[in-house]
Structure 1
Amino acid sequence: MASTGIATKGSAAGRRGRRRGWLRQAPEALTAETRTSGIPADEVPDARLQGHWLLASMGKRVLRSGGLHLTREMLEAAAPHAGDRIVEFGPGVGLTAAELLAARPPFYVGIEPNTEGRAKLDAVLAGRPARVVTAEASATGLDAGSADLVVGEAMLTMSSPQQRRAIVAEAARVLAAGGRYAIHELALADAAPDPDRRTGRGEVSREISRTIKVGATPVKLAAWRALLTDAGFDVVWQGTAPMRLLEPSRLIADEGPIGFARFATNMIRRPEARRRVLAMRNSFRAYKADLSAVAMVAVKRPTQH
């Protein structure tokens, strides 16, 4: 595990002043899951499920490329605290949301376009000053300058170059000056072949996308940093980890013995899911020299609005 830099926070006085507009939006009561489009994940055959929802359906909670340890390193660098208004892009089943809410923020908003996993997320948020907005991360509908910390994991990798620029621009818009943006994504090694500039696709991307059934476009560390700096951020911390999402040792570290046993049991009981998980693991192993996980914390420059 490697990391560089330090977390940066804005002044408490600035946060208090900015918080007023945010708190005018009272938390919405969390409701039962409502599916707005598509087929519910529990009705989709294992052969067709997107990789992250397949793994979640088998009991895997940690779906980030660098595992729970890198997520926690990222959060330590981002330093969420009781004065932060927090927005999370793509909270999924709520694992990182639980870590963020432990800081007792005055407000948490999850931006989640999908309804899969919503029941688990609702359980995490229940009784907290928190709500979920069904929206795309590129168009949240939140007020400009209404957040102190935005967190997004495993989202930009699954977006096209145009989409990821729009998502990062939205993070910059939602954040107040001095606010922090924390990301956890998949990266290409410096020695890996460069992907196509227009599509973001290359050999590694095509193979990974084929096995997980989601478009994945990892880029090199320098490109991740450039994406943030071009949008008005200064990167203040970076951490990396091997891409070992489906290796037994990582599964045990992320899920614990009981969670690992549950996942292994589902591997036995669901042959098509087992076939797909092994195909994903084989793909990750085949390109292990070209892949790594990266997390970054960046601070919005004061000149950005």
Structure 2
Amino acid sequence: MADSRPAAPQPLPLAERRDEDLPGHWLLARLGKRVLRPGGLELTTRLLAAARLGGADVVELGPGLGRTATDIVAAGPRSYVGVDDTAAATENVRAVVAPIGGSVVVANAAKTGLPADSADVVIGEAMLTMQGDKAKRAIVAEAFRVLRPGGRYAIHELGLTPDDIDQDAKDEIRRDMSRAIKVNARPLTTAEWTQLLTDAGFEVATVDHAPMALLNPARVLADEGPLGVLCIVGNLIRRPGARRRVIGMRRTFGRYRDKLTAVAVVGVVPQP
């Protein structure tokens, strides 16, 4: 007998969703924000330096609109492959990496389809935070598989502090963050981020931090520049729904400012 149940409704493409319904990072991108990392451009710059990109075969997981890809290309890698499951974003990244013959594949970060031992560096920023525990481990395991011995896995994620923060506080922060940004955010402490990598077989080479100040005016100016700020402010004035969302996100980040941080970790695949 044919199944008569109605098909489950498919979510609207990101470009068609209302400001009120977009995940927080895509809302900020729609408003003109290009740097969408918890530690801002400053921490990304230090992370890329620690990852040693010059002459390397680089894979970026979740490149988004290509802001970090721009900096990766400037560092002179031998090759670049981006892996993103949002097809709408990939054209931007392809344009950024075209000068070095880079490519982008539409795939899940946990199942990239890339050959084993094919990369010197895997980079992922602000994407593990949005995954549950099982998905986090699957993505880290995939990074380990793709990397050659001696390869570096560089992550930049939202962190909780201190390392001994109690579970009730963790749960409260995660719940309120998820409501504000409309994504199931699950940040970890620095100790938990490093443990995630070591459990997959990595040796932790560097750990770095920066304040989590994504919507702080001074950080926005440093990351986006004066013209970028004017663009964002203009869009906020014209889009009241977006303005309410951003105010809500900023209020949530402010409420937990003493318990939030940005964490950058580089793990290395051991040599045989």
Q: TM-score, normalised by structure 1?
A: 0.83
Letter in 2 for 1:155: M
Corresponding residue for 2:146? 174
Match in the other structure for 1:253 = 222
**Would you say how many aligned residue pairs link Structure 1 and Structure 2?**
263
Q: For each residue in 1:35-87, what CA deviation from the matched residue of structure 2 results, as whole angstroms up to 9, or x when unmatched?
A: xx8533221100111100000000000000000000001011111112x1110
Aligned match for 1:104, one of 58, 61, 76: 76
- Judge conservation of contact 2:163–2:189 (CA < 8 Å) in 1: no
Q: Select the residue among 230, 239, 252 that pairs with 1:270.
A: 239
Q: Which amino acid aligns with 1:264?
A: V
Over the aligned positions, Cα root-mean-square deviation in angstroms equals 1.6
* Match among 32, 35, 48 for residue 75 of structure 1: 48
Find the aligned partners of 1:267 and 1:112 in 2 and give their Cα distance: 28
1:146-172 deviation digits (Å, cap 9, x = unpaired):
000000000111000110000000000
1:155 corresponds in structure 2 to: 127
1:280 maps onto 2:254 in alignment: no
Aligned counterpart for 2:13 among listed residues 40, 44, 52: 40
> Helix, strand or coil for the counterpart of 1:61?
coil
Instruction: Give matches, 1:111-260, under 5 Å.
Output: 111-190=83-162, 193-195=165-167, 202-260=171-229
Q: Distance in 2 between matches of 1:151 and 1:55?
A: 22
**Aligned-partner residue type, residue 125 of structure 1:** V
Q: Return the letter of the residue paired with 2:188.
A: V
SS state of the match for residue 21, structure 2?
coil
Decide which moves more: 288-297 or 99-108. Answer: 99-108
Partner Cα separation in structure 1 for residue 59 and residue 94 of structure 2: 15
1:63 aligns with 2:63: no
Measure, in 2, the Cα distance between the counterparts of 1:141 and 1:231.
19
* CA distance, structure 2, for counterparts of residue 220 and residue 58 of structure 1: 30
CA distance in 1, matches of 2:97, 2:35: 18
Which residue in 2 is equivalent to 1:31?
none
User: Per residue, is there more helix in 1 or in 2?
Assistant: 2
1:90 matched to 2:57:
no
How far the C-alpha of 1:129 sits from its partner, in A, is 1.6
User: Match for residue 290 of structure 1?
Assistant: 259
| 1:238 to partner: Cα distance | 1.1
Matched residue SS, 1:258: helix
The one-letter code sitting in structure 2 at the alignment partner of 1:301 is P
2:22 is aligned to 49
Structure 2 residue matching 1:203: 3-state secondary structure: helix
Indicate if the aligned counterparts of 1:188 and 1:219 stay in contact, CA closer than 8 A. Answer: yes
Which residue identity is paired with 1:59?
A: G
Which whole-Å CA distance do the structure 2 matches of 1:77 and 1:128 have between them?
Answer: 21
Over the matched positions of the two proteins, sequence identity in percent amounts to 51
Q: Structure 1 unaligned runs (5+)?
A: 1-36
Deviation at 1:195?
4.0
Whether the 8 Å CA contact 1:191–1:290 is kept in 2: the answer is no
Q: Against the structure 1 CA distance between its residues 263 and 142, is the aligned structure 2 distance closer, same or farther, given a 3 Å change threshold?
A: same
Are the structure 2 counterparts of residues 38 and 119 from structure 1 closer, same or farther at C-alpha, using a change threshold of 3 Å? farther
5+ residue gaps, structure 2, are: 1-9
1:75-108, CA deviations, whole angstroms, 9 ceiling, x for partnerless residues?
Answer: 11111112x1110000000111111111332221
Shift of 1:127: 3.6
In structure 2, how many angstroms separate the alpha carbons of the residues matched to 1:56 and 1:177? 36
**What is the alpha-carbon distance in structure 2 between the residues aligned to residue 236 and residue 60 of structure 1?**
31
Counterparts of 1:147 and 1:236 in 2: how far apart (Å)? 18
Q: Secondary structure at the match of 1:98?
A: helix
Letter matched to residue 264 of structure 2: A
